Amino acid sequence: MKAIQVMFDETLLGRLDAEQEVKEVGRSAVLRRLVTDYLERRREAAIDAQYRRGYAAGEGLGPELEGWEDEAAWLED
């Protein structure tokens, strides 16, 4: 691992340090988990955006799967 410097205002740092998880595992472990969660959410959002762009074109499933839309069986709510 590599040490980095991160700046926090005193109020935010105090709120972070007051958390039980920070007391148990330390700031670094909590911040690593938070950054990992953040990056995963960003990755998922980017994938969702790609799907939206892909299906927004209105081209359906593409020529290789044309006609299969009518074969789907949808469950009743």
Question: Hey, what amino acid is at 12?
Answer: L
Banded pLDDT at 18 (limits 50, 70, 90): very high
d(CA 24, CA 66): 56
Which structural domain range is residue 53 located in?
Answer: 28-57
Residue 62 located in a structural domain: no
| pLDDT digits 0-9 by tens, 59-75 | 666 778 777 777 777 77
Q: What is the number of domains present in the chain?
A: 1
d(CA 57, CA 70): 19
| pLDDT digits 0-9 by tens, 27-57 | 999 999 999 999 999 999 999 999 888 778 7
The alpha helices in 1-77, defined as continuous H runs, are 10-17, 20-25, 27-56
Residue 41 located in a structural domain: yes
